Amino acid sequence: MQIRRSGVLRPNTTQLYRQRMGSESRFGTWASEIDFIPDPVAKQRALDEFATYLNPQKVRVMRAAGLDIIEAQRSGAWVWDLDGRRFLDCFTSAGSFNVGRRNPRVVAAAHAALDRLDHGNFLLCSEQKATLAARLAQITPGDLSCTMFGTGGGEANDFAIKLARGATRRAKIVSTINGYHGHTGFALSAAGRGAFRAPFEPLMPEFVQVPFGDTEAMRDAIDEHTAAVLLEPVQGEGGIVVAPPEYLADVRAACDRAGALLILDEIQSGLGRTGKWWASEHFGVVPDIMTIAKSLGGSVVPISATVFTEELREFMIPNPFIHLSTFGGSDLACAVALEVINVIEETGLVDHAAAMGRLLFDGLHSIARDHPDVIADVRGLGLMAGVEYVEDSLGPRMSYHLSQHGVLAIYSGNQPAVMRLMPSLVIEESEVDYLLHAMESALKDLKAGEGPSESSTRTRRRPVRPAPTAS
């Protein structure tokens, strides 16, 4: 394939101390060189302690995929391992670093907030919560205008489901197979992968799952008992599966007919990731409830938001304490999130993500054409890209090979054959170029038989899509 060659960012794993990159951009001034002393001994100690005090199997799995990285320096689209190696971060904690890692404006806002604030008293009204909620009402579509804050995505979805059940006085929640909504109570009950759910069954009653993208199955599942449908517009963990063109509109219509609510989980796909503020905009669909987390915290604080209509808020008017979270929407986190939104808006990051996404997809499609024996599909929106390999073990094996060429990329939790490429939205053209070159080099190494074998990285066989389940 022909990839534009910038000549600036050739991966070079031997020159650890002289790595340079364009450090100035309108998105920030990023660290251009390593600014710590690499310490492989400290790295090994951290891995050993992690294995002893957290989980040894996690260390083994990460090592097999070349991902036994201990993050040290973090800056913009890049991360440095404690041993000194630098990686273009294409995982970004599953899309949590849209404005770049330690974006200088966001870090400055965090410092300023720390000088003045703390978590705040969750029971009192708060200036920071009020300002951020007003800002969210501006940037979310349609008549979404009220917010409940939380600390993480699972909590945001839990509240979305509570609100749907409370407001409709119905119980049934329809979600999709291979969807991912977090590992908390209601969210896990709506998640679509058996392995995450099985040890905890029985989960919550009245949760039904249907295949993603199957309008008929969805229509059949939605009835007069349905409180809400919960969906990602683009399944992330499920392997970067974009909703078919008319799907969301059809689901919206089916919900309206049955008096059910539509909850869109934009936790991975929102805040500019897909080249629009919200992935649902690609489909012209406005939900009743939207959940936001991950990148809202600007890589430095935990925060999530469940945004909903004024009509739904009626349910909470008689009891404003119906859902409480001590740290949810802390004053510190709200101050930071406000700056995250300002950065996205003022730097034109959403349009930039769309432009970089076009370059990325051009390159990936070209590589896929050259390697049909390894790559089965390339899909996604904006900077939410999925590369599906022809079989599952290639996910971890390609993670390994990409890591050897300076790219941190991780396969999907629910679809190991699919590599997720979700770099920071501040990524520049030369860095897209770097990623595409690394991809080519990794494929070359894979075909030369280097790196881990198929059996050493096999996680499981390709999943057979289960029939719709109710639990």
Minimum CB distance to ligand PLP smaller for 185 or for 468:
185
DSSP state at residue 283: G
| Strands 207-210 vs 172-176: parallel, antiparallel or unpaired | parallel
Cβ 62 to ligand PLP shortest distance, Å: 17
Cβ 309 to ligand PLP shortest distance, Å: 21
Region of 139-147, 214-222, 260-268, 388-396 interacting with ligand PLP (CB under 6 A):
260-268
Tokens (6 digits) for 88: 């273009």
Minimum CB distance to ligand PLP smaller for 181 or for 405:
181
Q: Is 238 exposed, middle or buried (0-12, 13-18, 19+ CB in 10 A)?
A: buried
Region of 158-166, 175-183, 322-330, 383-391 interacting with ligand PLP (CB under 6 A):
175-183
385 in contact with ligand PLP (CB under 6 A): no
182 in contact with ligand PLP (CB under 6 A): yes
239 in contact with ligand PLP (CB under 6 A): no
| Residue nearest ligand PLP by beta-carbon distance | 153
**How far apart (Å, rounded) are the C-alpha atoms in residues 208 and 225?**
12
**How far apart (Å, rounded) are the C-alpha atoms in residues 388 and 436?**
15
232 in contact with ligand PLP (CB under 6 A): yes
Tokens (6 digits) for 179: 């969807």
Out of 80, 180, 308, 327, which residue is the one contacting ligand PLP (CB under 6 A)? 180
236 in contact with ligand PLP (CB under 6 A): yes
Radius of gyration over every alpha carbon of the chain, rounded to an integer in angstroms: 22
CB atoms within 10 A of CB 183: 14
Out of 152, 386, 423, 452, which residue is the one contacting ligand PLP (CB under 6 A)? 152
Minimum CB distance to ligand PLP smaller for 120 or for 270:
270
Positive/negative CA dihedral, 390, 218, 186, 141: positive
Please, which of residues 290-309 interact with ligand PLP by CB under 6 A? Answer: 293
181 in contact with ligand PLP (CB under 6 A): yes
DSSP labels, 344-355: HHHTTHHHHHHH
Region of 119-127, 261-269, 307-315, 461-469 interacting with ligand PLP (CB under 6 A):
261-269
Which residues are CB-contacts of 172 (< 8 A; sequence separation ≥ 6)?
A: 206, 207, 208, 223, 225, 226, 227
Report yes or no: 323 and 186 within 8 Å, Cβ to Cβ: no
Report yes or no: 258 and 224 within 8 Å, Cβ to Cβ: yes
Which residues are CB-contacts of 13 (< 8 A; sequence separation ≥ 6)?
A: 85, 404, 405, 406
Cβ 307 to ligand PLP shortest distance, Å: 14
Tokens (6 digits) for 240: 């970067």
Out of 11, 28, 154, 406, which residue is the one contacting ligand PLP (CB under 6 A)? 154
| Strands 469-470 vs 261-265: parallel, antiparallel or unpaired | unpaired
Task: Count the residues of the shown chain that bind ligand PLP, applying the rule CB under 6 A.
Answer: 15
Region of 60-68, 126-134, 148-156, 239-247 interacting with ligand PLP (CB under 6 A):
148-156
Please, which of residues 266-285 interact with ligand PLP by CB under 6 A? Answer: 267-268
Site track 75-114 with ligand PLP (rule: CB under 6 A), x = hit: -------------------x--------------------
Report yes or no: 162 and 315 within 8 Å, Cβ to Cβ: no
**How far apart (Å, rounded) are the C-alpha atoms in residues 371 and 374?**
6
192 in contact with ligand PLP (CB under 6 A): no
Binding stretches for ligand PLP (CB under 6 A): 94, 152-154, 157, 180-182, 232, 236-237, 265, 267-268, 293
